[in-house]
Amino acid sequence: MNKLKAIETVEKTIQMSEELFSPNSDWEPIVSTRIQLKYILEALKNAGERTRLTDLTIGVFAVREFESNYEKFANLIYEVVEITTLMKKNRL
């Protein structure tokens, strides 16, 4: 995966989160997921601070909160988890 494809995947995941759940949702799993997605996107675009990549819990939310009712969304999150793995290894 290249950097452009990774950015597109994260942006698509953010967009799907806004289609499935209200932008003003106060449901903690989606609020936290969006914060983490935006952090990942910023780190990809600006190659900035990446020290918090090890603290991300986005994959746990995919399994626990989204997988059974929002399979496509969960699958996108799994792709983002793979992206973060590449980022941790400095491959993105």
Give the integer Cα–Cα distance in Å for 32 and 57. Answer: 9
Choose among 51, 81, 50, 52: nearest CA to 66: 81
Q: Whole-model pTM?
A: 0.92
Please state, rounded to an integer, the average pLDDT across all residues of the chain: 93
Give the integer Cα–Cα distance in Å for 11 and 67. Answer: 19
Residue-wise pLDDT for 19-65, tens only, equals: 999 999 999 999 999 999 999 999 999 877 888 998 999 989 888 99
Using CA atoms, how far residue 34 sits from 1, 2, 72, 89, 91, in Å, is: 22, 22, 16, 23, 23
Mean pLDDT, residues 59-80 taken together: 93
- pLDDT at position 80 is 97
